[in-house]
Amino acid sequence: MLILMKMKTAMLAGALAAPILATVLSPAPPHDDDGAVRLSPASFSYRAAGDFSRNGRPVEGLMRKLSLPADLIIMKRQVTVAEYARCADDGACPKVPVPNGSLDVPVVGVSWHDASAYAAWLSRRTGVTYRLPTDEEWTFAAAEKARDEALPLVDPADPAQAWIARYEAESARSKPAEKAVQPAGTFGTNSNGLDDLAGNVWEWTDSCFLRTSLDDGAERITNTNCGVRVVEGAHRAYMTDFIRDPKSGGCAVGIPPTNLGFRLVVEPSSPVAAAFSRNLAKLLRRT
């Protein structure tokens, strides 16, 4: 009973887990030095995520010119099996199966909850606040590796045209040939020095699914669903937060993300900047 309670507490990433004890017992550092990248704010193009409609019919997401409010510190690599395993060994992250036994590959088969538990654990262990990036932050860091997939506008009187267009766009996506995870660096480095963006591992972001109305020229969020998060990689996807192994569903088939993994960003330490960052999405929408 005691063990069960202890496990449950740890699973919930509760603050009662014993970080000091764990530090003493565990010889390895919680996160390997991967040369995290610091990016200074610069202007970038961002296609807003979620579903948009104008006067009752679907339209493409708005394209915005954005600039992040502060430097972005982001992991160069996706979190590896070895790193995640330390969190799992501490009882702070659910164990996930490791397919081929390799430790120096991105951890995959993780849900948004798993990734968030890892961020909470790593923050406790290091004293630095880590979290998942927002979709805006991910897009900025991914630079040329981010894909803008706006769908063609369609005849409002004929919704089937949109479905066929969407189906064909999704069917035409080139998908990674290999599902098996590859050693870090396999999919190259982008202009910001980040590895393996848009390879065969998609990355969780912290951004919730939004439904936005553009009626009468005004932008209005009509629904926020944080049970569904934005997932980024070779294409953008929306994923229910407890999913670990994505598959295509319903009649919308397309190509689902091959694997789900993640990398983290460092929350700026200044309380002002932190608050700024937390409200990033909100602030960005006003710009």
Partner 1 sequence: MLTRRTALMGAAIAALMIAAPALAADDLKLPRERVELVAPPFVHPHEQATKAGPKIVEFKLTVQEKEVVIDDAGTKFHAMTFNGSMPGPMMVVHEGDYMELTLVNPATNSMPHNIDLHSSTGALGGGALTKVNPGEQAVLRWKATRPGVFVYHCAPEGMVPWHVVSGMHGTVMVLPRDGLKDRDGKPLHYDKIFYIGENDLYIPKDENGKYKTYDTVGESYADTTEVMRKLIPTHVVFNGRVGALTGKNALTAKVGETVMIVHSQANRDTRPHLIGGHGDYVWETGKFNNPPEKDLETWLVRGGSAAAALYTFRQPGVYAYLNHNLIEAFELGAAAHIKVEGKWSDDLMKQVSPPGPIPPDKLGAADPATFSR
Residue choice 254, 273, 278, 285 for contact with partner 1 (CB under 8 A): 254
How many CA atoms lie less than 13 Å away from 201 in the CB half-sphere? 29
Task: Write the binding mask 46 to 75 for partner 1: x where contact by CB under 8 A, - elsewhere.
Answer: -------x--xxx-----------------
Q: How far is the CB of 197 from partner 1 (least distance, A)?
A: 22
Which residues are registered as beta bridge partners of 228?
240
CB-neighbour burial class of residue 30 (10 A; exposed 0-12, middle 13-18, buried 19+): buried
Which backbone phi and psi does 274 adopt, to 5 degrees? -65, -45
The piece of 15-23, 71-79, 156-164, 197-205 that touches partner 1 (CB under 8 A) is: 156-164
CB-neighbour burial class of residue 195 (10 A; exposed 0-12, middle 13-18, buried 19+): buried
Task: Kindly tell me which of 189 and 248 has the beta carbon lying closer to partner 1.
Answer: 248
Task: Kindly tell me which of 57 and 64 has the beta carbon lying closer to partner 1.
Answer: 57
In this structure, the dihedral spanned by the alpha carbons of residues 64, 279, 12 and 90, taken in order and rounded to 10 degrees, is 80
Query: Which letter does DSSP use for residue 143 in this model?
Result: G
Task: Write the binding mask 211 to 240 for partner 1: x where contact by CB under 8 A, - elsewhere.
Answer: x-x--------xx-----------------
Give the interface with partner 1 as residue ranges (CB under 8 A): 53, 56-58, 97, 99, 157-161, 163-164, 167-168, 170-172, 175, 178-179, 211, 213, 222-223, 247, 249-255
